[in-house]
A and B are shown apart, each in its own frame.
Chain A
Amino acid sequence: AQKVTQAQTEISVVEKEDVTLDCVYETRDTTYYLFWYKQPPSGELVFLIRRNSFDEQNEISGRYSWNFQKSTSSFNFTITASQVVDSAVYFCALSESDTGGYNKLIFGAGTRLAVHP
């Protein structure tokens, strides 16, 4: 069965530190999609990135970068020079194929990141 593991429950850093959030997934599908979402203290879930299983290129967006490695079933997220506004819970998610396609998302338990001034 599909599974997403975010082993780090909470991470605390000081502003300007780099921080990496780990995500390990399990799936039997050969085609799948991986996502990261951010949930700030206000509660809404904000989409950050989508990756399909055929594209292992790393991605960088400003201070955010993602490292996708199929060999280790990992999709890790790094924030460079963290800021207080990065404080949030971050969720990794995996699409699960069903009769409706690949739209069913399995979420990890989330990693709570606290960035202190």
Chain B
Amino acid sequence: DAGVIQSPRHEVTEMGQEVTLRCKPISGHDYLFWYRQTMMRGLELLIYFNNNVPIDDSGMPEDRFSAKMPNASFSTLKIQPSEPRDSAVYFCASSFGLAGGAYEQYFGPGTRLTVT
């Protein structure tokens, strides 16, 4: 399998612009997660989906952030409008589901976002 695929790998944008990050999970995985990694806050879970349905978005920092999963093989994380403090590495991860448990998550290579 190709693993979790994220695009773009790097994104540089100006404050106020809309940014869309994309993710293709591993085929067959029914959970998808979006994380953000910064030096100050470490790895934070933003939102996760189960069978394309958002389960927990309590980590989404503000209304400027939104995420969708229109089908089992694609998800987007959108920031509109972007701000310099959104600069971070954004990871997408996917996993199988386990009733009453948790399987390991497999991470994509990340998107390094820089907002100037």
Contacts and interface: CB of A to CB of B under 8 A. Distances in A.
Given A99-B55, A101-B100, A107 B48 contact: no
Interface string B95-107: 1011111111111
Contacts, number: 67
Interface of B is mostly: strand
A95 B102 contact: yes
10 contacts: A31-B101, A47-B105, A47-B106, A50-B102, A100-B55, A101-B99, A103-B31, A103-B102, A104-B48, A105-B105
Interface of B: 31, 33, 42-43, 45, 48, 50, 55-56, 89, 91, 93, 95, 97-110, 112
A100 B110 contact: no
Contacts of A105: 33, 45, 102, 105
Given A100-B50, A101-B97, A105-B33, 19 more contacts: A33-B101, A37-B107, A45-B107, A46-B107, A47-B104, A47-B107, A50-B102, A91-B43, A98-B55, A98-B56, A99-B55, A99-B56, A103-B95, A104-B56, A105-B45, A105-B105, A107-B43, A108-B42, A109-B42
Contact of B109 (A35, A44, A102): A44
Interface in A38-60: 43-47, 50, 52
- Which 8 pairs of residues, A with B, have the shortest CB-CB distance? A100-B55, A45-B107, A102-B102, A107-B43, A95-B102, A33-B102, A47-B104, A50-B104
B102 A43 contact: no
